[in-house]
Amino acid sequence: MAHTLSGLLICRECDAVHRRVPLSGREVAHCVCCGSTLARSSALQVVDLLALTIAAAIAFSIAAAMPVLSIEVGGARTEANAWTAALSIRHGWAGVAAVVLVATTFVVPLLQIVLLLWLLAFARLGRRAPASTRALVVLHHLRPWSMTEVFLLGALVAIVKLSAWVHVIPGPGLAALTALTVLMLILSNTDPQLWWDLHCTPR
């Protein structure tokens, strides 16, 4: 989005400098030059963000532990979720794709949740978390590689595709995955400035 320095906002995409104006409600500030998003206002406080992150952690645990979908044929059943799906294709050449899949739909969201919990738990206590700058930088780099929503849509496509031949049973992981996707979207869409403002103390 934008970079701030004592009341100025610089557009990330075209370097145009703007004066920072307080936003209210659900206002979004756009660059006058190129239209990119500079800043978003958010009614979310640390308490709200923490609650959302804890909910995301729970949803993630369910989606990881329980199957997202399973199919049953004459008494025999197979199940799958992100982890097991990647494991099953790890043999041979497809192992590379398995690593990418597990990374984007499992490892990255997990890291995001853990880092957010770390930052927010300390913030809730009114303190700045240790290594918060490094955590925020890592979160910044992780953001584009978080793909839980792709996994969700892929699961739905797989359900439709397979239900033509077999009895498909959506598992508890599917609802958890949906919740996780929504929560991650809300958390990712918060203005990064919010996070830096929480933890910034000029040296």
Partner 1 sequence: MREPRSLESSRCPRCDQVLVRRPARSAERSLAWLIAGLICYVPANVLPVVHTSGVGGGQDSTILSGIISFWRAGALDIAALIFLASVAVPSGKFLVLGLLLRDRERGSPMERLTRARLYRVVELIGYWSMLDVVVVALTSALLQFKVLGTAEPRLGIVFFCAVVVATMLAAQSFDPRLVWDEERS
**CB-based contact 160:89 (threshold 8 Å):** no
CB of 65 to partner 1, least distance (A): 16
Q: Does 10 bind partner 1 (CB under 8 A)?
A: no
CB of 103 to partner 1, least distance (A): 10
DSSP 140-187: HHHGGG--HHHHHHHHHHHHHHHTTTSEEEE-HHHHHHHHHHHHHHHH
- Report the site for partner 1 in 54-113 (rule: CB under 8 A): 68-71, 73-74, 76, 78-80, 84-89, 93-94, 96-98, 100-101, 104-105
CB of 136 to partner 1, least distance (A): 7
Nearer to partner 1, 6 or 24 (CB): 6
Question: Between 116 and 155, how does the x/- string for binding to partner 1 read (CB under 8 A)?
Answer: -----------------xx-xx------xx-x--xx-xxx
CB of 51 to partner 1, least distance (A): 26
Contacts of 181 (CB under 8 A, 6+ apart): 148, 149, 152
The residue type of 67 is P
* Sign (positive or negative) of CA dihedral 184, 189, 194, 199: positive
Q: Does 2 bind partner 1 (CB under 8 A)?
A: no
Q: How many Å from the N-terminal Cα to the C-terminal Cα in the chain?
A: 23
Instruction: Report helix, strand and coil shares of the chain as percent, to nearest 5.
Output: 55, 15, 30
Which residues form the interface with partner 1 (CB under 8 A)?
5-6, 12-15, 33-36, 68-71, 73-74, 76, 78-80, 84-89, 93-94, 96-98, 100-101, 104-105, 133-134, 136-137, 144-145, 147, 150-151, 153-155, 157-158, 160-162, 164-166, 196, 200, 202-203
